[in-house]
Structure 1
Amino acid sequence: MYAIIGASGKVGYATSKALRQANVPIRAILRSSAKAAQLQEIGCEVAVADLLDAESLKKALANAEAVQVIIPPSPQAKDGEQEMRDIIENVVKALVQTKPKKILAVSDYGSHVQSDIGMPTLFRGLEEKLSQLPGHKIFARTAEHMQNWGRSIPPALESGTLVSLHNPLDVPFPTISAPDLGAIAAELLLQPAGGDRIHIVHAEGPRRYTANNVAAVLSELSGRTISAAALPRSEWQPLMERGLSPTLATLIVKANDAQNQPGVVDVEEGVGEVRYGTTELIEALRPLVS
């Protein structure tokens, strides 16, 4: 049994679909049954669990030999950072009790950095806690998801300006389509468990893009001229707090500060491997524009 925590998200669903195509049994672990139908349609067993309740998670993970862990940020939470930390604690407690042979955790580029750089540092904590568990641990460190630009697309189409936290605008950064990450995770899960060890995999798309490249792709898809503009640093936190708790907004602001420093939020040199998705930026953004 392969258990997928967060199976209804873009990454989790892509992993579940790829594993079902390989004809292996999947238990999709969801926070609610609202999105169960699409997973049941592809042959998944569905379990509903409270990610803030270790006992609930323990029941959902029972008898699973392999588990994929995704720690979802909650925009609705009053303290988004603390909720993510609480979810990490409860997931680890449940895994300690259920003892799967293989654990794949979706982590973040930059999680190897020792200093506090926001979201990657939170995932560094996840890696450290899981490292103490027995079995085969895979840390799938992901580049920024191409689909994250979706929030910026409507105002860019309306105004002709793509507001970006990437600065300089002409520096390429690693990014990946979320479904590609899910497919890479499935490939890793299908490999035989390798005993008590840690395997680090960095996942990014077929090429790196600049913020100017993103604006050019939107121009091509929309048929109108769109240019990128760097948002002043003083406006980052207020912008993030329009839809997120202050603590979650701070995690993202710190991460973007680090991302704008060359080589920080990147592949850890000399560690693990890099796997590449196949989806180009234009294909990932096409459905978001249309």
Structure 2
Amino acid sequence: MYAIVGAAGKVGYATALTLRQSGMEVRAVLRNESKAARLAEIGCDIVFADLQDPDALGSAIAGVEAVQVVAPLMPRAKDPADDLRRSIASLAAALAQARPRRTLAISDYGAHVAHDIGMPSVFREFEEKLVQVSGHTLVVRSAEHMQNWARVIPAAIESGSLPTFLDPVNRLVPTISAPDLGKITAALLMRADGKEGLEIYHAEGPRRYSASDVATVLGELSGRPIHAQSVPRMHWDEIMKRNTSATLADLLMKANDAVNQGGVVDIEENVGEVCYGTTELIDALRPLLPQP
């Protein structure tokens, strides 16, 4: 039995589906019933637990061979950054209680960096808590999801300008399609071995893309010319704090600064295996375009 915490998300569902297609038993751990139907349709055992209730979560993952965990960012929370840290603490406590033989945790590119670079540093805290749990722990550091461009696609198509915090716009950055990440983690979960301790993996797509590449792809898909335009650094604070808390805005600005330095939010050199997805940017973005 494999437990997937957050099985209703893009990554979690892809993991669950891949495991089921391989004949594995899957326990889908969800917050509520609204997203249970499609997981039940593929044969998952459904259990419910709040991510920030470590006792309920520990019971939900008890007795499984392996568990996949993710600490999701909830933008609508009163303080998304604080909410994320509470989820991380709850996940660590639940794992310490349940003690599965194998734990796979989805982390972030740049989590190895010792100094504060915002969001990746929160996942560094996550990794540090996980190493305190006995058993075999696999940490999969993920590149940015291609699907995260979804929020700016409609405005980019309408205006012909794709706003981005990436500077310069032709800088190549690691990125991955979220369903590909789920397939990668499923494959890692199914590797039968008796290892103990910590293993680090990195996951990204078949090639790296720039913001200019994203604009070009959106132009091809929409039939309209689109150009990437860097948002001036002086405007970041104002823009981010319109839609989120000051603490989350600070984490995101630090992370984007680190990306723009180049080579910081990236693979940890000479550590772990790099796993590559197969989905190209154009195929990941095509379903995200507004339908006529």
TMscore range, shorter length? over 0.9
Alignment of 1:140-289 (within 5 A): 140-289=140-289
What is aligned with 1:63? 63
For residue 240 of structure 1, report the CA deviation from its aligned partner.
Answer: 2.5
Provide the residue aligned with 2:9 in structure 1: 9
Aligned to 2:76: 76
TM-aligned CA deviation for residue 237 of structure 1: 2.8
What is the CA–CA distance in structure 2 between the aligned matches of 1:2 and 1:228, rounded to whole Å?
42
- CA offsets 1:33-89 (integer angstroms, 9 cap, x no match): 110001001111111111111111112112112010110111111111111111111
Contact 1:204 1:277 in 2 (8 A): yes
SS in 2 for 1:170: coil
Identity of aligned residues (%): 57
Distance 2:66 2:20 in 1: 14
Structure 2: segments with no counterpart, 5+ residues: none
Instruction: Give 1:137's aligned residue.
Output: 137
- Segments of structure 1 that go 5 or more residues without pairing to the other structure are none
The count of residues paired between Structure 1 and Structure 2 equals: 290
Asked if the contact 1:203/1:275 (under 8 Å) is kept, the reply is yes
Whether the aligned pair in 2 keeps the contact of 1:110 and 1:264 (CA below 8 Å) is yes
Partner Cα separation in structure 1 for residue 265 and residue 24 of structure 2: 34
TM-aligned CA distance change 1:193 to 1:241, over 3 Å: farther
Shift of residue 249 of structure 1? 2.2
Shift of 1:103: 0.4
Q: Tell me, what secondary structure is at the counterpart of 2:243?
A: coil
Per-residue CA distance 1:12-43 (angstroms, 9 max, x = gap): 00000000001111111111111000100111
In the other structure, the counterpart of 2:54 is: 54
Q: What letter matches 1:283 in structure 2? A: D
1:136/1:193 contact within 8 Å kept: no
Shift of 1:236: 1.9
Is the CA contact (8 Å cut-off) linking 1:31 and 1:50 kept in structure 2? yes
Alignment partners' CA distance in 2, 1:8 and 1:94: 19
- Report deviation, 1:256: 0.8
1:148-190: CA deviation from partner (whole Å, max 9, x where unpaired): 0000101101110000111011111000000000000000000
TM-score, structure 1 as length reference: 0.98
Deviations 1:239-271 (A, max 9, x none): 223332222222222111101111100000000
CA distance in structure 2 between the aligned counterparts of 1:245 and 1:109, rounded to whole angstroms: 23
